A and B are shown apart, each in its own frame.
Chain A
Amino acid sequence: MPANRFNAFTELGIGIGLRIPHYQHILTKKPTVDWFEIISENYMCDAGRPLEVLDQILEQYQVIQHGVSLYFGSTDRIDREQLKRLKNLVKRTKTPFLSDHLCWGSVDGTYTHDLLPVPYTLAAAKNTARRVREVQDFLEVPIIVENVSSYAEFHASEMTEWEFLTEVVELADCGILLDVNNIYVSSKNHNFDPYEYLNNVPHHRVGQIHIAGHTKYEKYILDTHDHPVLDPVWKMYAHTIRKCGPTSTLLEWDAHIPSFDEVHREALKARKFLDAVKSKKDDSALAAAAV
């Protein structure tokens, strides 16, 4: 299940986000890391240091691209120049698949640079799926879409978020990047049961998992990516990989970034959950074989 057509049949293991404060450590120490996730937009430039560093990283590591500006849920036309730049980067990194968010962020050509929640309507699902297909056709790599954390809900919504996610990925025939922390954050902000979400997404489409830390405020939770993963999120993660299988997992840490080793240690905590699921699977297989 974890290696599927939505993640180009890859089993990557545990990755971390490639961030500037860690460049020097990675390039000089060459630590053993299963894979790095890059923010595509940081490298969609013409030349200069970002691409020089990326090329050095690519010599040593598997890199997976993760985007923040495709805005699948927007109603604007897709920017072809942006797609061309993205495709050039896909060729450079040889990313086997690519992810971006189930959100919108631009309207009439003006960009908010935020990951805004889409109203969960059929019209929005069809529009989003059409755009995912268009991008996927152009880039010629599988696309997985990530659920975002949100702080507002629309009156216009006609279904739950997980129903909307399912509708989009079925219509687009694409995969899911399941962000467990985002589900937790949104569940607290919108008063829903996160396990109902986890139980009701199409597990066979999950190509990758994100985990991260968040910050609790008095009246809401903010998805800050500036802490270790909290216990309730680890529990949800364990539940997720029981449902989806031992899926490639990435830790996001984007602010107050500690040392590379600390970030990597936090990410590797996922290993015991993945191993537990793998060994259980083996036991089941053995039991089945014995019968």
Chain B
Amino acid sequence: MIAKKPRQIPRQTPRQTLSQLRDLQRLSGAAIMRPLARDWRMQRKWIDDRDMRIVAGEFIKPNDRLTSFERIEIYNRQYWFRLIDSFYDDFPGLRAVLGRLKFNRLTKAYLIAHPSRSFSMRNLGSSLYEFIQKHPELVAPRFDLASDMAHFEWAQVVAFDGPAEPPVTVDDLLGKNPAKLRLAVQPFITILQLKYPLDDYVIRLKKNRSRGDASNAMEEKLKGSARPTRRVPIPRARETFVVVHRLDNSIYYKTIDARAYRLLTSLSKGITLGKAIASAFAEKPDPELVRQWFTTWTEMGWFCKPR
């Protein structure tokens, strides 16, 4: 989990050096971020198979009520509860489709492979979709649904506070040569091709979601004793094209058709407007339909100038 293997710290160092401080932080960090055991307690064995009570005793003082092991365990548990709690907030749909146990297993496996590398917890789930592609066994038998959901829910994180460029307006497009015009899609927008109609499903889930789950009720949530909610039926597979976007600082899902999806993805790849329109339609493009699309999309501020 941590890049460099921590060295052992000699007990009762008389004057600590900066290098020893760094080693102590590596050792503490490794203990704190080490995966919990199945009972959500700290593992009894250290990475070298030594008794963790002995290892903890080498750098943490005990007191009259807690052993060194128990004291570092408080931080070890807090670390995992905090991060998994963050995943509960960012991926409630994925939790719903996988169930609590499988979701917890996936989250732990993911966080071991992708510990946080950012000062902000906002980016914690940025690689979850790719991780699921590499580890389908963790979400079996609902690989497609889980993949779709991870993608869809990460798109919402991006839409929530992702950067925005000055939007291109309809007037900016007037008189431009489509053969040369390139448009970029706003960086906070994600254009998705899904195997399941998750937009409706997630809206129903959100309506049904229990409110008031305070963050320090995490242990209850992990063990599944949090207030039960009415189950929302899993949707049947149906190819869906959806744009997750932001308008007036609220998140929206807009369902589009396959042609619009092809057009928008082409534009987002830097293809000229003329070629993007041509590639979107199998036969002759429908100018009125394209005009309607662009009127709507530019009104919603979806386009910006390419960088």
Contact = CB atoms under 8 A, between A and B. Distances in A.
Size bracket, chain B contacts:
35 or more
Interface residues of A, number: 52
Interface in A132-180: 151-156, 158
Given A111-B119, A119-B16, A152-B74, 6 more contacts: A46-B161, A48-B161, A113-B82, A155-B9, A155-B61, A156-B9
A45 B161 CA distance: 6
Interface of A: 41, 44-52, 69, 74-75, 79, 82, 104, 106-114, 116, 119, 121-124, 126-127, 151-156, 158, 189-191, 219-220, 222, 224, 226, 254-257
Interface string B230-264: 00000000000000001001100000000000000
B37 interface: no
Given A49-B161, A190-B63, A255-B215, A114 B75 contact: yes
B65 interface: yes
A39 to B, nearest CB: 11
B116 A119 contact: no
A25 B21 CA distance: 46
B33 A226 contact: no
A82 to B, nearest CB: 5
Interface of B: 1-4, 9, 11-13, 15-18, 20-22, 24-26, 28-29, 32-33, 58-61, 63-66, 68, 70-72, 74-75, 78-79, 82-83, 115-122, 159-164, 188, 214-216, 246, 249-250
B118 A111 contact: yes
A257 B213 CA distance: 11
Contacts, number: 162
A257 B22 CA distance: 37
Contact of A41 (B11, B16, B64, B119): B119
A75 B163 contact: no
Contacts of B83: 113
Query: A111, A124, A153, A255: which has the most chain B beta carbons within 10 Å?
Result: A111
Nearest to B64: A191
Contact of B24 (A46, A47, A156, A256): A156
A19 B3 CA distance: 36
Contacts of A119: 16, 21, 24
A82 B28 CA distance: 24
Lowest 4 A-B CB distances belong to which pairs? A46-B163, A45-B161, A48-B161, A121-B16
B116 A111 contact: yes
A123 B29 contact: no
B32 A114 contact: yes
Contacts of A256: 214, 216
